Amino acid sequence: MLRQGFNGASFAPAARLGLLMAALAPCAPYAAESATTGTADTSAVAEAVEMPALHLLGTTVAAGTTATLTWSPGANYDGQENPRAVLVANGTSPGPVMCLTGVVHGDEHNGLEVVRRVFHSLDPNRLNGAVIGVPIVNLDGFRRGTRYLPDRRDLNRYFPGRRNGSSASRIAFSLFNDVVLRCSFLVDIHTGSFHRTNLPQLRGDLTNLDVLELSRRFGSTVILHNRGGSGTLRRAATEAGIPAVTLEAGEPLRIQDKEVRQGTRAIHNALAALGMYKRNTLWREPPPVYYQSRWVRVNGGGVLLADVRLGARVDEGDRLGTVTDPITNDMREVLSPYKGRVLGMALNQVVLPGYAAFHIGIEAAAIDPFEGADDFDGGAEPARASEPGQATDAPDRDLENSE
Ligand SMILES: [Zn+2]
């Protein structure tokens, strides 16, 4: 599958993978191909190789500059367009296009701060390729402080979208076609959902070699294998030939400095490791990779108090927390059925029986790492039947997955 590069060159995923493997010489495939698509004016070709302009959303962004563009997915209730910002940093040398998306779920705020910190730390004159950031994708949900769109749909169940589909599907279609298809790589930034928090971690389909290679560029950030649910942005992008990962960090409705710093550092690391930006402080430690994970649900109702911290390593039988009946004072222990690491967990709160409270990453041992890996959430409710390319309208589907 060929994809349009930012400077008019076409390149295939294999070329991108080759670029990944040769991070110190990342520009050769792009420079060579752009020369073949240039005009007969050789001076213009030479100039295009050195200073490619980026054409996006009807605007041309000159080499070595930054710009704030707008993307309008369509009219709102009042008939007005609902433009949202798209940040662009276009480098001075050819290279890949890294795209960053935040707030696809309107209540997951850490992503917009990660995009801000990454984008405003870049000097376009030191950049090979381009960085495109959409800090707030779901502007309607963001303004209302909710995960969902105004029609209660979850935008991240509708990618790549349909031109004439539901409102959610049209927004997804617009973002996918106007921005995402211009990317060489995509990082979609999320947080835990509904009073849960996530250890900063990457999620991607590690059976896809391009995604596997991409995921290893984020330094020592934890990696969790997961294909991604149907309709998620990263799965749709990956299926369209654009290696994509989700970066999970922290909890919703907050700006968390520690998690944001970790996420920002991970993306800085990836930009350097991809040969897009020079940095001296790369993470050297290999990332821990988890090929399976399971949610541990509570059996009692009442007050959930955790005994473990995010990122803790646990053995089978370790106490993760307790649930105490507020009336009788009866306490139930929540024990880990697995040896692994706490990748996500519920905040202390009152819970119903069956609440998914602790998300345990399980390191592969002597098992097929991909066997059963799609059962990643280990107990989310089965999805209801839905039309192809669409997700159920039920807002409580797969909430534990967060993304
Ligand atoms: Zn999310």
The H or E element spanning position 70 is strand 65-71
Q: How, if at all, do strands 65-71 and 84-90 pair?
A: antiparallel
pLDDT at 177: 98
Q: How far is the CA of 401 from the centre of ligand 1 (A)?
A: 8
Q: How far is the CA of 11 from the centre of ligand 1 (A)?
A: 30
Phi, psi of 140 (to 5 degrees): -65, -50
Beta bridge partners of 69: 86
pLDDT at 78: 87
Q: How far is the CA of 107 from the centre of ligand 1 (A)?
A: 8
Beta bridge partners of 358: 296, 345
Q: How far is the CA of 144 from the centre of ligand 1 (A)?
A: 15
Q: How far is the CA of 403 from the centre of ligand 1 (A)?
A: 4
pLDDT at 76: 87
pLDDT at 327: 97
Q: How far is the CA of 353 from the centre of ligand 1 (A)?
A: 24
pLDDT at 375: 34
Q: What is the mean pLDDT of each run of 10 residues along the chain (403 residues)?
A: 40 42 33 33 46 91 97 90 95 96 98 97 96 97 96 96 96 98 98 95 96 95 94 98 98 97 96 91 82 95 98 97 98 96 97 97 60 37 31 40 68
Closest alpha carbon to 19 in 126, 133, 129: 129
pLDDT at 273: 94
Q: Which residues have C-beta under 5 Å from ligand 1, the single-atom ion?
A: 105, 108, 190, 403
Domains of the chain: 51-273 (3.40.630.10), 292-362 (2.40.50.100)
Q: How far is the CA of 332 from the centre of ligand 1 (A)?
A: 30
pLDDT at 51: 57
Compute the half-sphere exposure of residue 130: CA atoms within 13 Å on the CB side of its CA: 31
Q: How far is the CA of 21 from the centre of ligand 1 (A)?
A: 30
CA-only gyration radius of the chain, Å: 22
Enter the pTM of the model.
0.82
Q: How far is the CA of 102 from the centre of ligand 1 (A)?
A: 9
